[in-house]
Structure 1
Amino acid sequence: MTVKEVLYDWGGLNLSLFQAINHSVGKLLTPLAYAGSTAGSYWGMPLLLCVLVLLAHNRAQRGDFLVAAKLRLQGRRLIVGFLSAWLSAGILKVTFGFPRPLKVLGSEVRLISTPHDVYSLPSGHVVYTTLVAVVLWPLVKPRIRPLLLTFVVWVGWSRIAAGAHFPADVVAGGLIGILSGMIARQGVRPSAIGRNVTSIRSAFDGIIDQAKKAYAAGEWVQMRILLQDAHVLGQCLFWPHLLSHWWMLRLAYRCRAWRAIRGQILRLALVPIGHLMGRLPLGNTGDANVSAFRPMPIPIGLKEILEKQYDR
């Protein structure tokens, strides 16, 4: 007996289960199967992400920064988990190239969804649906969690009922969704929880204004010091963080410091990743002569501003 027969064919049970489920779908259950396949489409990911972002914004406006931070955290984990799941599922589909039920059974399949011939393992719908359940699990109340499980089961059943996948494809999709969610949970760290970022942004803007004046006056050393302070303050906020590196790049280009130019281009590319993963080394000056991943002591004056706004 081969590995495929054990792990995928299940000694013939995979095919038998598919036929039992697929052939049991009558006119009454056809709309339910179609709705499940539609609801589990990974094209819904941008909509879910927007919902999490809007909810986080609404909570922050109401002063509930803890809940807002949790919503943003799970939104970032959704992005990372989705990328991991999409890549894993794509590699498995291309690597194995298992045939779809339509190619194996032909006219015996009661087809509801769009017909496909290959790339049956895993079910992409179930991969995405399971990932959604993992991401939303910490956000919903315990009494709501059975509904998440029901949603995953419904989508898995609908893919079999629609004639799109075998049961083994559904199981594999669920495992990949769980694994991708776990990877995102381990890889994406919580960020600091802001109480009120107005003071930080105000202080950052003030330092940037001084740096611009130093730039206009040709005071390069003073500007470099000011931009380092601006980076320490603005690092917790995406746009100020990006802006501080942009001005560092302009300064490096003005001084024709090619090593610094390369370093700042790299750091500009790392800013979105750092905020997405929640990996921002506190106190780092952002200068090209220090590691982008190295935490550093925060100057006392700047530390006082940060501690007033953030829980430690």
Structure 2
Amino acid sequence: MTTLSPLPAIMIEPLVRAALLEDLGCAGDLTTDAIIPADHRSTTVLATRQPGVIAGLDLAALAFRMLDPTIDIAIERRDGERAAAGDIIASISGVSRALLTAERTALNFLCRLSGIATATAALVVAIRDHKAQIVCTRKTTPGLRAVEKYAVRAGGGSNHRFGLGDAVLIKDNHVAIAGGVAEAITRARRGVGHLVKVEVEVDTLAQLEDAMRLGVDAVLLDNMTIDELRQAVAMVNGRAITEASGRVNPTTAPEIAATGVDLISVGWLTHSVPALDIGLDYRA
């Protein structure tokens, strides 16, 4: 896996700020402010309740520091690293009110993104004997695309396009309205610049034949059988990137990868993956 570069603070700060403001509402933390003295200090740890791959520590740390800039955080497991159940990810010391008020916001980001990284890592391991890469999609939580795609990278996966302006991806509805794969590709080529890559989604080998005749940079082989995927890879013969999608999980992924496709795209990595169970535990 390539070195995981952290996201710039300017990208994550608005997300964390908005999440804290959502939680604080118009009155602040009524429970903590009523029970905990303003000058009380604590030491806590972020600890895993189940094994997984960590992602989102920068967002969690920022949530605490926004409420107490003097807070001290010692990282034990960095983003992209595996943790066993019961492992301490980080130790956090500071004003108790800040720790408790930021707790849920920090954990929401950390658990969500670590869940994505963990699920991605399971797929990456499942296909490690093949050349294919696991990639995510645009099926992300509104407003959280950058950090969810970062979590995919933390799990050893790669990113598909980040938005509609990255590249042309001709989908089934584009094809239906245009009147066919060939016409959709022709219009796309006329409408974009020479540096923009063009990918087309195909459901059949006949559509793939049309796409290859006109020339595209990548083909999305949607919900094809294993036999169809093998035939499709042979038809393309290295002339375009081949991407398989549909019915992908750790059990089916190795067979899909064995067909020779270059990419396997997985929407559920970012739209419905379970969170990793991580908690904030008081120590002193």
> TM-score w.r.t. structure 2 length?
0.30
Higher strand share: 2
Higher helix share: 1
Which of structures 1 and 2 has the larger relative contact order (alpha carbons within 8 angstroms, sep 6+)? 2
> TM-score w.r.t. structure 1 length?
0.28
